[in-house]
Every structure is written in structure tokens, then in C-alpha cells.
Amino acid sequence: GVSVTGVRPGSTEASAYVQEDFALFTLDKDEARALADLPPLETPFGEFLADRGADVLLKQRIGMVRTDRPLLALRRDGAARKATIVGEGLWRWRSADRWMHGSTDHFDGLVHSIVQFLAVHTDRNRFRLKADDLFSEDEPVRIEAELYNASYEAVNGPEATLLVKDEQGEELAYVFTPSGNGYRLEVQGLAPGRYTGSASVKLGEERFTAQVTFTVQELQLEQRNTVADHRLWDDLAVRSGGRTVHPDGLASLDTLLAERPEIGDRSYEHATFSDLIGLPWIFALLLALLTLEWALRRRAGGY
């Protein structure tokens, strides 16, 4: 974390101030001001140097002079993590926090953040993208991003960008908008096809990238509106002198019909005449019947 060389007898009092570009976890402005108000720690005389790869959270303020000497630094070395504070009297900070601010929330929050940083042993993906696999061409493509600091606290301060490439290799660049604890992006007007997206963000000295793929599907005309347009029905009925009756109003249908004078009981009669000469099968049937009658009468002696 911190190396001290050329140590000489004696000590000096050093107060703390927060390094502004510290990115391993988040301290708000109220916490930073509270830490600057806490009593100084006893630090040795010597040369202070942060180790390579260490992130300095607190630096020393001697009197009213801000120095570059580290007071509290944290470091990641593979899976190992450590925090180093070069001063004595840390116990006084909690008591002073209660006396000056009415609670120990600022000191406890600092310790909690340090412990949380030290307790993380796995290097999980700290920049993630979330998006559906399929979008219709008439809807925006929505992509969400999450960025975590080294303590796995969600942050969205750094600018995150997205480079989208279509199947022909053409590229479009976008910038995410901070939303809640993460990021959000809506892209309008993409033509149907398959797309790949590469997002990038820089947090402190680290740069993170993440990939996403999605497809914009062509929307068929029949699929644009699959819900019945009842207002259109009502309008058509009024224009033609009618009325629309919905299922919950079927009981009033009889009354509505009775109120229409042009609607009433009607009967229709249709008569047609045909010459018998145009029906040869009738003549054949009559001839057969007459022949049968003649034969029966003759047999009975009627002729």
C-alpha cells in the first residue's frame, strides 16, 4: 500500500483529505467534508510513497497545507487485497465523528466501504450490458448498462459509449445516459437486420468493455395493428346512419330497431309462369298415366 523511507525520530500531526479521483468505492461530498474535519493522526517523519498499483483514498494535510503524501491507500494484487493507513490514533475518529456530527455514520461508512473492498475475492465482470435479443423495426432498441467499482458498488459517473455495427460493417456511435444507478440508451430508426454492439467505459485508470448482439425484425403490415379499432367502427356506423352496439349493450338492440321507421316487418312474393310445352317430362308423365288408365279399362271390359 504505502512505503515509508528515511524514517527519523519523532512524528507529525496529519489531517486527512479525500483524493478526488479515487474510484475503488464511492464517498459522497458530505462524507468527504466530515473526514476532513476529524482530528489529525500521528504520522512518522519520513518519505511517503504509494506502492505501484495502489489507489490513494486519503492524503495528508499538515496544518492548512495539502500534501501529496498518502495517508490511507488500498491495493489489489491479483486475488489479494489490502489497505494501509500510516498514522496512529484512528480510534479518535469515531469518537470525534459522534461529538462533531451527532453520530458515527461517517466513520462507520468509511470502515464499511474498506471492509467491503477487502472482502471481495472474485474478479467478476464489472461492466455489463442488458438488452433483448429481438426488436421490431417500429420500436426503439433499448440497452441498459451497469458499471461497478472495485468494491462492487454501482456507479454511473464516467461516460459510457456504444459502437453499433450492422451486417454490412457500417458503424454508429452512441453515448449512454445515466439512469438510476446505471446507464440507459434508446436507439431509434435502425433498419431490419442483425447488429453487434461494443460498449466501453473508463473508471479511474481501468477501461472496461462489454459486447451485445440483437436483431431488428422487419414488421409486416398486418402486424402493425392487431387490435380492433372500435373508434373506427363507431365512426363508420355514424357516417352510414347507423349505430354501433357493443356486447354489453345487446339488451337495447330491440329498442334501437323499433325506433327506426325504415326497419319493420316485410313479406315478399315472387310468382313465375312457364308454358307446359316447355316441360316435356310433364307430357311424358301424363301420357304414361293415360296409357295405364286405358289399359286397365280395356282389361276390365270398359271399352
Q: Which domains does the chain show, CATH number per domain?
A: 2-119 (no CATH), 127-217 (2.60.40.10)
Displacement of CA 69 from its chain's centroid (Å): 44
**H or E element that contains 77:** strand 65-77
Cell of 110: 468509511
Q: What is the DSSP letter of 204?
A: T
Note the pLDDT of residue 264: 66
pLDDT at 243 over 70: yes
Q: How far is CA 231 from CA 75, 235, 239, 242, in A?
A: 66, 6, 12, 14
Note the pLDDT of residue 79: 66
pLDDT at 266 over 60: yes
Express as a percent the part of the chain with pLDDT over 90. Answer: 33
Note the pLDDT of residue 179: 93
Note the pLDDT of residue 225: 61
> Which one of 149-158, 193-202, 252-261 scores highest in mean pLDDT?
193-202
Note the pLDDT of residue 276: 61
Note the pLDDT of residue 10: 78
pLDDT at 303 over 60: no
pLDDT at 123 over 60: no
Note the pLDDT of residue 227: 67
Q: Is 99 helix (H, G, I), strand (E, B) or coil?
A: helix
pLDDT at 223 over 60: no
Report the pLDDT averaged over residues 31-56: 87
Exposed/middle/buried for 163, CB within 10 Å: 0-12, 13-18, 19+?
middle
Distance (Å, whole) CA 249 – CA 263:
19
Confidence of residue 267 (pLDDT cuts 50, 70, 90): confident
Mean pLDDT in the chain? 84
Note the pLDDT of residue 54: 85
Each residue of 5-27: pLDDT tens digit?
Answer: 777 887 889 999 998 888 888 88
Note the pLDDT of residue 208: 94
Note the pLDDT of residue 260: 73
Residue 106 and residue 97 in contact, taking contact as beta carbons nearer than 8 Å = yes
Confidence of residue 185 (pLDDT cuts 50, 70, 90): very high
Q: Is 25 helix (H, G, I), strand (E, B) or coil?
A: coil
Note the pLDDT of residue 121: 63
Residue 109 and residue 97 in contact, taking contact as beta carbons nearer than 8 Å = no
Distance (Å, whole) CA 64 – CA 17:
11
Each residue of 68-120: pLDDT tens digit?
Answer: 899 999 887 766 788 988 888 988 999 999 999 899 999 999 998 888 888 87
Nearest to 163 by CA among 200, 126, 217: 200
Report the pLDDT averaged over residues 164-178: 94
pTM for the whole thing? 0.50
Q: Alpha helices, DSSP H only, in 90-196?
A: 91-101, 105-119
pLDDT at 142 over 70: yes
Confidence of residue 173 (pLDDT cuts 50, 70, 90): very high
Nearest to 87 by CA among 50, 44, 45, 49: 44
